[in-house]
Structure 1
C-alpha cells in the first residue's frame, strides 16, 4: 500500500519526546517485547535524534546517533514499512556522523535485519547475542569524513550596500555564488522550476556543496513552484540534495496566490539578496548586504513556506 509522503527532520529530545516515544514504544516494547528499562537509556538526552513525519506532522519513524558514534533506535511504524523511511533515516544519520568527523560508526540490530544494513556498507562483528529473547548482531562501518574546510573569521558587517542592477545570466551566476559562499547557516530560494541555467550550473552547485559540508547544521530551503518542469531533465542540484538530504529542504506551494507568484529570489543569513521581478527573465538586482530588503524578502518567504507542502514529486530521488 502506498501511503502519503513523509519528511525527515532533526528532533529535539525534550520537545519531541512524546513523538519519539510513541514510535519507539510501538516498535521496540510492544512488537519486539524489549523491556522498557533496556530500550530507554541514559544516552538519549545526549544523542542526535531524527524523526520521520507524514504530511499531517504525525511521527512515523525515528533514529539516533550517540556521541560515541553508535547508530540506533531506528524504528518505523508497521504501516509505514517498505516505503523507504528506514533508508532515509539511516542516510541522514550516516551523513551526520560524517559531518562530525567520525571515522567509524557502529550499531546493534536484530539479526534478521542485518541484510538491510549490509547494503549500506555495514559489516558484522563477532557472534550474534541475545537480548530479551531476541537475537542481535553488532555491526560497524568505516567512514570517510566529509572534508571540512576552516572558514576565515567572519568580518564585521559593512553598512548597507545599495542594490546593483543585473541584466544577464552571467551576472546572476556571479552574484548567486557570492551569496551562497558568504552564507553561514541558512539560504532561502524561491524559484519557478529550479532554473537549470542558474541553479544547475556547475559552479553554483559546487558552492552549495561546500556550504552543506562546511556549515554545521546549515540548511538550504527551496520553494519550487513547478515541480514537473524541475524534474523534467537531470538537475545537478537535485542530485546534490539527494546525497546530502539533511542539508536541503524542498517544498512546493499549494495556495493559488503562491502558485501565481511571478518573482524569484535568493537570500542568505548575511543580509544578502538576489531578486528578479519576473522569474522568466534574468533581469533583476542584488546586494551582498541590504538588511531592510533581505528582511522583507525573508518574511515573504517564511509566510509562503509555512503554507507549502513537501516536494513529494522528488520522492523517487530519495529526497
Structure 2
C-alpha cells in the first residue's frame, strides 16, 4: 500500500521489515532518542519490532520523515514525525493508514499509549482515554487511549467526553447541531472546545444549538454565548418550549461528516460516540430538525453585553 498526498509526502506500508529497518530507525532515533532522550535500548525493541506491521512516510525526495506501527496485541505505537514536518498532516496520514490496516485485518479495537502532549491529536481521530496517567519510555507522561472499529465507542466520564467532543469538532466541515440542556458546563465551556468552535466558525461553519434552559448559561455568563456574539453569523440558538421536547432527557451533538456523540441523560457526560456512522447521524438529525422548527429563537443571547 502506498498513499500519496497533496502535501508533498507519501505513506507506504512496509512489506520487508529488514529492508525498511534503516528508515524506521532513522526517524525513531531522531525523535525518541535524540529529541526526547529515550534510552536507545528502550527504543530499539529488537524482539517485537520484526513482528509488527509498520508504515513509513517519505518526502518528495524519498527521505523518511515519519513512521508508526501496529503490534501483535493490537496496539498502535512508535508514532514519530520529524520536527520539520510536524503540523503538515503527516501524523494524521500515518494514523489513518494504521487504522485502515487494522480494519483490513478484521480487528474490532485498537489501543495506544499517548504522550500527554499528543492526547488531542489522537482524540481528533476518534480515540478516547481510559485509566490514569502513567510514566513510560524514560519518564514521559502517557495516557492509554482506544478506539472501537465499526462500533460506537462508550464514553465514560469527563475526560472521555472532552475527547469525544474534540473528535466531533475536528471532523466537522460546514455544520454542527448541538442539543443541550444548559450549554453543558464542564464540556462546552472548556478552552479547547471553545478554540475549536471558534476555528470552525471563522472557517465558515454553521452551529445550531437547541437548549432546554437558556436562562442558566445566561446567568453563568457561559463563554460560548460570548463567542457567538463575536461571530453572530455562525451561531444560532433556540430554546425548546413544547412539553414533549422538554421531557426529552438526552443531549447530543452531530457533525456533517457522519459523526455523533449521544448522551441518554443530558446532565451526565456518559454516552456513546462514533465518527463514521452515517445512519445514526442522520437519525439524530431527523430527531433534531422538527424540534428546531418549533423552538423559539434565543433573542436574549444577542442582547447580552458580555
Q: Does 1:165 align with 2:154?
A: yes
Q: What are the equivalent positions in structure 2 for 1:77-156 lying under 5 Å apart?
A: none
Deviation at 1:280, TM superposition (A): 1.5
Q: State the secondary structure of the residue aligned to 1:220.
A: strand
Change (3 A) 1:318 1:300: farther
Match of 1:303 in 2: 290
Is the CA contact (8 Å cut-off) linking 1:263 and 1:277 kept in structure 2? Answer: yes
Change (3 A) 1:316 1:150: farther
Size of the alignment, in residue pairs? 169
Q: State the secondary structure of the residue aligned to 1:189.
A: strand
Q: Does 1:182 align with 2:171?
A: yes
1:248-299: CA deviations, max 9, x gaps? 0100112111112100000000000000000121110000111111111010
Deviation at 1:244, TM superposition (A): 0.1
- Specify which structure has the bigger relative contact order, considering alpha-carbon pairs within 8 angstroms and separated by 6 or more residues: 1
Match of 1:282 among 269, 278, 284: 269
Q: What are the equivalent positions in structure 2 for 1:11-90 lying under 5 Å apart?
A: none
Deviation at 1:304, TM superposition (A): 0.5
Match of 2:186 in 1: 197
1:188-218: CA deviations, max 9, x gaps? 000000012100011000000010112x3x2
1:19-73: CA deviations, max 9, x gaps? xxxxxxxxxxxxxxxxxxxxxxxxxxxxxxxxxxxxxxxxxxxxxxxxxxxxxxx
Deviation at 1:318, TM superposition (A): 6.6
Is the CA contact (8 Å cut-off) linking 1:267 and 1:274 kept in structure 2? Answer: yes
Q: Does 1:210 align with 2:194?
A: no
Structure 1 unaligned blocks of 5 or more: 1-148
Question: What is the aligned-residue RMSD (CA, Å)?
Answer: 2.8
Q: Does 1:264 align with 2:262?
A: no
Structure 2 unaligned blocks of 5 or more: 1-86, 104-148
Quote the Cα distance in structure 2 between the aligned partners of 1:314 and 1:280: 22
Quote the Cα distance in structure 1 between the aligned partners of 2:247 and 2:285: 18
Match of 1:241 in 2: 228
Deviation at 1:230, TM superposition (A): 1.6
Deviation at 1:177, TM superposition (A): 1.3
Match of 2:303 in 1: 316
Deviation at 1:236, TM superposition (A): 1.4
Quote the Cα distance in structure 2 between the aligned partners of 1:251 and 1:150: 38
TM-score scaled by structure 1? 0.49
